[in-house]
Each structure stands twice: as C-alpha cells, then as structure tokens.
Amino acid sequence: MPSQSELIDIMTTVLAGWPDVRAVGLGGSLSRGPAPAFTDVDLFILIREKTLRSVQTQLHAAVIERWPVVAYVNRGAVDSMGHMQQFVFDDLTMLDTALLAAEESERFEFQRRTKVLFERDGAMSDILRTAGDFADIDEKQRLALLQHHHELFCVFAVVLAKSIRKRERWLAVHHLDRLRNCFFTIARLSMRSFTPLLRRGESGADNVLPAAVRERLRSYRADLDLRTVTQSALALVDAVRLFGIGETAMRVIGAAERAILHAREQLEQHT
C-alpha cells in the first residue's frame, strides 16, 4: 500500500482527470498536517449534477484496480458528509470518500478546515468561504441535535440491553461501540467543539474532557465479556449526565440506564 501522502496524491491526480469532478478536498486530521499511521484519508469530491452513479462506479473501479481492498462499503445518501464510499485496504488503512453535487452542498457538513486539493473555477473554495463547524451552529440547532442524540443514545442502550439479556456477545459489543460514538457526539455538542478530546496548544495535546467525565470513562472497555460490556455502558450513561443535560434528557437517559440495569440483573441471575 502507498503511504497516506501517496494515496492522496494518486487519488487527486486520478479524480482531476475526470470531467465530472469539479473539486477534491481533504478533510479530517490529515487536513491539518501529518497524522499518525492508520489515520483515515477523508476525501470530499464535488461532482457535476446527475453524475453521482457514474462517478461512484468509476471511483470503485479506480481504487480496486490499484490496491488490495479487503472491505468496501457503499452507504448511499445516508451520511451527513455526503454519499459515502469507504475502502479498507489490506494494511487496515481506510479511504473515506464523500461524493456530492454543488447544489447539494448546503445539506452536508463541510468543515472550514477542509484543504482544497484540486478544483475547477473555484468550485470548492466558494463553498468553504461560508462553511461552518459545530461551533458555528446556532443555539436552536445545537439543542435540537442534542435532543436527537440523547434519544439515539437511549435507542442504542435499549438494543444493547436486549443483546445482553440474550447473551449475544458480538452484538452487545457492536451496540456498545454505537453507544460510545453517540456519547462523543453528545460531548462535542455539549462542549461546542468539533473535537473535544484533544486540543493542540503551545504545550502539545491537552485532554479537554472534564475531569469528572474522564473519571467515569476509566472503566470503559470494549471487551467480549458481557459483564464488562454492561459496566462500560453504565459508565457512558454516567458520563453523559455530567454534561448538565436538561430534565427531558435526564428522563431519556434514565430510561437507557434502567434498560441496562435490568439486563445486568438478568445476566447475574443466569451466572
């Protein structure tokens, strides 16, 4: 497999040669400079109207012809970042691509830090001039997103609890991962920060999650043992509460906790 920089250069050259591609941007950690090994390569690809299917097909062929792909996911139009295609290579690096037409750009979460790799007629630069971040959404939007993710958190907790009760370890671990991702979205929205875990300052990387939240998360482990999964889920529930959520959210999170506690009781009865 090529290095991250080689992968970016090759994909940019390939995409720039397609007339239906208007621009290519680099997102994620790599847009800010060098990143650790195995960091995902996140590409935003701006395309001409009504060319989505053909570009998706071209992109898939272009990648698998060049590199050993062990997993491929085509998520369609279900992601907030665009029409997603994900490629996992044999060294476990991942290429995430988000395809979108210019007329759709307002629906998706372009970040101001996106680095333009290629563009025709300033197509992506024009969008980035008005792009925002989590910090730029208004308070009404932030609260609506928080409510949505509190409810998602409850849903994931309930299906996790069902998996624990059925003693389905693999499903329980999967749902724990979904619960964890939802927790970090709640953290981001609560702290008005796109990346709350690490903030790079003059002294390096500082963990900016509140100390009390970090303490709750000490017991989080995504193991295959159902007891550990249950303990980790309860740690996430406790940590969410520390973000000062409102009364309605408290009821929702309380329902999530009750489902997990009930599952733990049944687990203990059968051991």
pLDDT in tens, 84-96: 888 888 777 889 8
Question: Could you please report the per-residue DSSP string of 69-117?
Answer: EEEEEEEEEEETTEEEEEEEETTS-EEEEEEEEGGGGGGS--BTTPEEE
- Would you state the pLDDT for residue 124? 85
Full set of structural domains in the chain with CATH: 4-132 (3.30.460.10), 137-269 (1.20.120)
- What kind and span of H or E run contains 185? helix 169-191
CA distance 133 to 139: 13
Q: What is the pLDDT of residues 138-160, one digit of tens each?
A: 677 778 888 888 888 888 899 99
β partners of residue 41: 95
At how many degrees (to 10) do helices 139-165 and 247-269 cross? 10
Percent of the chain with pLDDT over 70: 80
Q: What is the mean pLDDT of residues 192-199?
A: 49
pTM above 0.85, yes or no: no
| Structural tokens at position 119 | 């563009």
**CA distances to 5, 52, 102 from 34, in Å:** 9, 31, 29
Q: What is the pLDDT of residues 78-130, one digit of tens each?
A: 444 457 888 888 777 889 898 887 666 554 455 557 889 999 998 888 877 76
β partners of residue 111: 132
